[in-house]
Structure 1
Amino acid sequence: MEAMDSVAVMEVAAVPDPVFVGAAPLTPPPEASVLRRSARCLNRPRAPIYTEKEEPKQSTGRRGRPKKKRDAENHDPAAEAQAPAKVARKTPKAEPKEKKPMPVVEPISAADFAGAAAEEDALGKGKSAKLRVKETLRAFNSHYLHLVQEEQKRAQAVIQEIEASKNKKAGKKGGEDEIKEKRPSKRPDLKAITRMQENNSVLYTEKVIGQIPGIDVGDQFYSRAEMVVLGVHSHWLNGIDYMGMKYKEMKGYANFSFPLATCIVMSGIYEDDLDKADEIIYTGQGGNDLLGNHRQIGSQKLARGNLALKNSKDNGNPVRVIRGHVAKNSYTGKVYTYDGLYKVVEDWVQNGVQGHVVFKYKLKRLEGQPSLTTSEVRFTRAEAPRNISELPGLVCDDISGGQENIPIPATNLVDDPPVPPPGFAYIKSLKISKGIKIPSDCAGCDCEGDCASNKNCSCAKLNGSDLPYVSFKDVGRLVEPKAVVFECGPNCSCNRNCVNRTSQQGLQHRLEVFKTASKGWGVRTWDTILPGAPICEYVGVLRKTEDVESLLHNNYIFDIDCLQTMKGLDGREKRAGSDMQLPSLHAENDTEAPPAPEYCIDAGSIGNVARFINHSCNPNLFVQCVLISHKDVKLAKVMLFAADTILPLQELCYDYGYVLNSVVSATGDIIELPCYCGAPDCRKRLY
């Protein structure tokens, strides 16, 4: 849609009647305070920041007053401060350098290996193993999307060269040679591994026997490359990962035979494999037809991975098992699931189906582990519903009333009787308060079709020479969080499906609003959402910040603090592009420490699905400021994007960003609000 289609100027009236028939009016909490969210919700930095292994700031502190609705609902408000609040800021702490885990060999109990992982969490001292896994995957995805963008640009350049050569009499044959010589690489994931190895940002560089700290049974990976950078399975092609002879010299391994298996991947490559879930008949490596027909074309040898599995049977060490399944939403066409620890209990040699010698291994799953989430033929984990009408606790078929591209149902299994979300009217477009004028003076590009095919796009230059998005299966993905994203707007000549209009395409994923037990209403996805994918815009009434100071009991105020983020004020961590020159950054507007963002979005009485998204100290979304029809960052559009791969039925969340001890009462006392997000690295308090 065009940029100006998403806003409508209006004079804001009183709170409208609830959109749901019979819904109760919005009851404000007793505290006289106002939620202030911000565009700095998740410090998902560029890849180089991850590779430096520095401690992130304790929080990206959001200016404003307490948010209570989701983290305090269903808890005793008398235990919390009652006075109005204002912000004070603290300096974040630093974290000591990460300690690498030592391999564990001797035990064969699953419970013992789970204990080793828990110990590693404790050694993290402020950063759990789970968080380090998430950071590593974010770094990988950042590298991967950058490399996809590079390959797409190179492919486009090759196409242009070929087209130019066809216009020459003798150019046709030469053009064909160019295609063979310069065709783009199809494996940016492997290049991402190399980048991370060069930057020393692979999580576990030494191989580990047993459970990997931060990796739980049921965790999924969307390529073997992801498993490599985590250290789960250290080879992107081989099915058997093992420790080589160098480990024999390390402490604790002197009495073991090497090589020693650490992990296997079952993905249907060998026709002799047999999967009975808790028991596996696994075919050794070698002699397989790599053309994809799964046939054995040669005999195997007792060496490398095959010898490693035999030695693991003799040594008694556990082996991690990964199962691969076909997945259309994965860029590799598969998804890999960690299914726990198995023990090699038997090995033998036989002639395979094609008559060639193969090595066979029987593995049995160790007891005391979480239940399997995968089987030989299908996933058995919870699946998203297929029919809205069959949803348990359904209280509304579509809270948007048909305004969104996709219906958004609401469910409530907490209240008795169940009630829908009360006290607001759904809107799809941002509303503008009287007295605020949105500029529309941004010059547009003159590209034809999609701007990704034009190396001279003027909108790309605003973003630092490259477009901020890369297209994946016709869906735009943000390559990295930026200080601000410049999209094509109403004055651009490119088509409406241009990748640089990604935030303007409306809802792309199936979402559900649901009542939580302790945080009020929340939002979860029915689809797999990939990193960098757009979720939704934060919609409400655009107001001047000074006008909402008197609006007490409003828990849905979102400060547009893009300007403060670009300047790195109040402990904010700068993003890519923070040094750009914009009219709103000129000297007359350049104060050392602005008291507050000048504008905010009020979703208290009218808003969209974004108003229901909860806080988490370990979020899977981040907030991105976007400019379309103008260059005033103080009036930027606020968008939510996926920071991680989000699986079906996972709750969506972002970090509200308060600094601990930053909210004080009128008398100067620190106000504390408990956090109930449940994240492994929860700060225990929202502020």
Structure 2
Amino acid sequence: MTSSFAEQDGSLPTISPNSDTKESTTIGRRKRGRPKKRVSPPVVSGTVTKRDENSYNDVVIGDCVTKETSGPNDVEQSSIAGRRKTAGRLRKQAADITNDVNLCSAIPPASLNPVAAEYDASGNTGMENDCVMREGSDGHCGKAVGRPRKQVVQIDQIDALSAGAAMDVECDGAEGKNDHMKVKDTLRLFNKHYLHFVQEEERRSKEVEATLSKVSKAAKGKSKGKNKKVVGNSSEVSKPSKSKKSKAEDGNEEILKRASKRPDLKAIRKMNEDQTVLNHQKRIGSVPGIDVGQQFFSRAEMVVLGLHGHWLNGIDYMGQSYSKLEMYKHLTFPIAVCIVLSGMYEDDTDNADEVVYTGQGGNDLLGSKHQICDQKMTRGNLALKNNADTGVPVRVVRGHESANSYCGKVYTYDGLYKVIKWWGEKGVSGFTVFKYKLRRLDGQPNLTTKQVHFARAQAPKSISELRGLVSEDISEGQENYPIPATNEVDDPPFAPKGFVYSKSMRSAKGLKIPPNANGCTCVGDCVDISKCACARLNGFDFPYVRKDGGRLVEAKDVVIECGPNCSCKCSCVNRISQLGLQYRLEVYRTPKKGWAVRSWDTIPSGAPVCEYIGVLERSEEVDTVSENSYIFDIDCDQTMKGLDGRERRLGALASLMDNDDKPSDVPEFCINAGSVGNVARFINHSCEPNLFVQCVLSTHHKTKMARVVLFAADTIPPLQELTYDYGYRLDSVEGSDGKVKTLECYCGATGCRKRLY
């Protein structure tokens, strides 16, 4: 496995798994008596050991070989640990929770606390358009607010207000986690729910399509019978007349076309019901764990984090009910806490540090987006006016078009702005609109939205544009996309070396590979979970959804894919990890961590990134003299049995577990990528990774020899380093002298443990 190493005393760096430096220090082997606590993580055992090319055999572990290369997928999970739901936490959240989302009255008002109920009454959960969506309404919601007293909030009071709001929303289950990890875990939970609802919708659509097909065939049969007419002693078919569709056809087509509740909104509702949203009450100022420049791939993500409280409205504000709280008694409500600049209003002006923002309401949401009636000084418009009067800043989020987001946009948090003035005027379309001039507060990190666009522009369109290019394709044409290598660190620069690139697994000489398992009898794609044998092995469901080129709904003990004996097509949804690289990857040199890997494309959560390829060997036969930092223990069996404190995932069927063998603390087989491997051997460790390890079975069902595939744990933007947790336990590695070895970690994560082992 790859590691993070530091340079010492200006000399050559200590040997890194991604380093080609010949001089090295001894890493040593881990203690075999007690393995590390992990979920199928890799194991480090030393430097690359040269192997004789004849000492292993070629084995095709992937089942379907396809030469079709699909382009970068659109964006859009991995399973995260469930939160500990203590009785005290539930009582506290029942008293504090504020439900900021209106999902067509899906959540009954009785489930909301008084703060939330009055907040909903203030109108901050409705549509932005008074004319289209609330036709016939006077546009005024909540209590009328008289002329406010001008009480200006000083900037140094903002943090105190924000901290006070945060005191009541700490979750017992999140103890010990930093704010960034709370944000990351909440987004992972959202993505898991989102993909479950995507899977539910895919299943519903398949059922309706099947029903429509049957109805259509029946209707055609009746039509042929009606069109026959008798002429003498013979019959002939007359020209069919254009008849109206049957009620059954119309009804079923309506079901198919009916807009289901969006998966993202259903995920919000689920998290509200489970009380797993991160910030229940609205807060003034910044949100802990969310940094300037952080990106979100839907408004729903911002809702579950409490950054912006509504999935549609551009202005998120605190309603009249917040005036009852002691910490807010000096403020005039409603008060805006966040706005989204998304280009919906034709009168918006955005000059980065200064913004002229158009108020809400009066625009044609369902059509041209232009103003079709006057705006009114209520709801969010009144809230922003009060911000100008009191000096309370608002969070600003900018939305920009992106093909890599399932909602078509990417949202970037750009920090706090102060509303310096407001006015009303006739807009471009001739209707009255309210304008608000906002200015960015000093002392914040540099504005990032432009930098984000710049970074995207710098994601190369071709390999020839790369600086420091040392190899155009380390795979030498084996992968769907070339994998370039760049080195701007070393002088002179050099390319990765000391190994043979292989797209498929190989086995050590004399190692017996299990025979191919029996397959399903599905024709075409696997669709019917009640009939597919592979679906039954996955707990009577398919582990993947087809969205965005294929995504794993949630991490499992083991995923069983369709194999060579299955009658379904190679494009079957249950063969996702066998399709090869679906994203453009680059290997690049770092100052402290050796080689690293990043993607040029956005990778959606749950998408397979690459398989860990090498030589399949017995763990006991691995060379114990030479050092090798690319050993990956296959501990699928130990994870399924929960040995040595390993974290259990979504369970597998008992029939897959090797019950005939005695449980062992040490995995029997490992993957050695020292002399033979693929791009996965260059992926570094992180204490807060964006990838996770998943054991996959396809050709055979021997869990001890499962394939090891790396999946995206989060939605990964372009040019972000790909990392996973190596799973080391502290003091688990000892040198040849029997002494415990330690190694500093330089992953740079906020919650870095400072030691790799």
User: Would you say same fold, with TM above 0.5?
Assistant: yes
**Aligned-partner residue type, residue 534 of structure 1:** P
Instruction: State whether structure 2 residue 620 is matched by structure 1 residue 550.
Output: no
Match of 1:677 among 730, 747, 753: 747
**2:578 match:** 504
**Residues 358-377 of structure 1: CA deviation (Å, up to 9, x unaligned):** 1111111111112222259x
**1:30 match:** 25
Larger Rg: 2
Match of 1:108 among 122, 146, 155: 155
Contact 1:286 1:301 survives alignment (8 Å): yes
**Aligned-partner residue type, residue 439 of structure 1:** P
**1:53 match:** none
Match of 1:317 among 392, 408, 413: 392
**2:237 match:** none
Match of 1:566 among 640, 645, 656: 640
**Aligned-partner residue type, residue 510 of structure 2:** G
- Structure 1 segment 317-466 matched on structure 2, within 5 A: 317-375=392-450, 379-381=453-455, 383-452=458-527, 456-466=531-541
**1:630 match:** 700
Contact 1:622 1:654 survives alignment (8 Å): yes
Change (3 A) 1:460 1:172: farther
In 2: Cα distance, 1:28 partner to 1:600 partner: 26
Change (3 A) 1:107 1:540: farther
TM-superposed deviation, 1:159: 1.0
**SS of alignment partner, residue 197 of structure 1:** helix
Match of 1:276 among 321, 329, 351: 351
TM-superposed deviation, 1:387: 2.3
**2:658 match:** 585
**Residues 38-95 of structure 1: CA deviation (Å, up to 9, x unaligned):** xx99xxxxxxxxxxxxxxx8x65968556689xxxxxxxxxxxxxxxxxxxxxxxx99
Change (3 A) 1:175 1:198: same
TM-score normalised by length of structure 2: 0.76
Change (3 A) 1:149 1:67: farther
**1:162 match:** 212
Most deviating of 546-555 and 345-354: 546-555
TM-superposed deviation, 1:27: 2.7
Structure 2 unaligned residues grouped into runs of 5+: 1-17, 49-83, 99-151, 223-244
TM-superposed deviation, 1:675: 0.8
Instruction: State whether structure 2 residue 305 is matched by structure 1 residue 211.
Output: no
Change (3 A) 1:575 1:125: closer
Structure 1 unaligned residues grouped into runs of 5+: 1-22, 42-56, 70-93
Instruction: State whether structure 2 residue 314 is matched by structure 1 residue 258.
Output: no
TM-superposed deviation, 1:178: 2.5
**2:177 match:** 127
Contact 2:489 2:590 survives alignment (8 Å): yes
TM-superposed deviation, 1:558: 0.4
TM-score normalised by length of structure 1: 0.83
TM-superposed deviation, 1:381: 3.7
Match of 2:380 among 294, 305, 328: 305
Contact 2:636 2:704 survives alignment (8 Å): yes
Contact 1:395 1:411 survives alignment (8 Å): yes
In 2: Cα distance, 1:64 partner to 1:95 partner: 33
In 2: Cα distance, 1:308 partner to 1:669 partner: 65
- How well do the aligned residues superpose, as a CA RMSD in angstroms? 3.2
**SS of alignment partner, residue 265 of structure 1:** strand
**SS of alignment partner, residue 203 of structure 2:** helix
Instruction: State whether structure 2 residue 200 is matched by structure 1 residue 150.
Output: yes
**SS of alignment partner, residue 264 of structure 1:** strand
Most deviating of 175-184 and 105-114: 105-114
**Aligned-partner residue type, residue 27 of structure 1:** K
**Residues 78-119 of structure 1: CA deviation (Å, up to 9, x unaligned):** xxxxxxxxxxxxxxxx9999999999x9442699699969x9
In 2: Cα distance, 1:245 partner to 1:521 partner: 55
State, as a whole percentage, how many aligned pairs show the same letter. Answer: 56
Change (3 A) 1:36 1:648: farther
**2:60 match:** none
**SS of alignment partner, residue 155 of structure 2:** coil
TM-superposed deviation, 1:663: 3.1
TM-superposed deviation, 1:392: 1.4
TM-superposed deviation, 1:24: 10
**Residues 15-45 of structure 1: CA deviation (Å, up to 9, x unaligned):** xxxxxxxx997737331524899xx99xxxx
Change (3 A) 1:615 1:115: farther
- Structure 1 segment 9-48 matched on structure 2, within 5 A: 27=22, 29-31=24-26, 33-34=28-29
**SS of alignment partner, residue 228 of structure 1:** helix
Change (3 A) 1:308 1:155: same
In 1: Cα distance, 2:589 partner to 2:324 partner: 56
- Structure 1 segment 212-227 matched on structure 2, within 5 A: 212-227=287-302
**Aligned-partner residue type, residue 500 of structure 2:** A
TM-superposed deviation, 1:295: 0.7
Instruction: State whether structure 2 residue 539 is matched by structure 1 residue 467.
Output: no
Most deviating of 142-151 and 325-334: 325-334
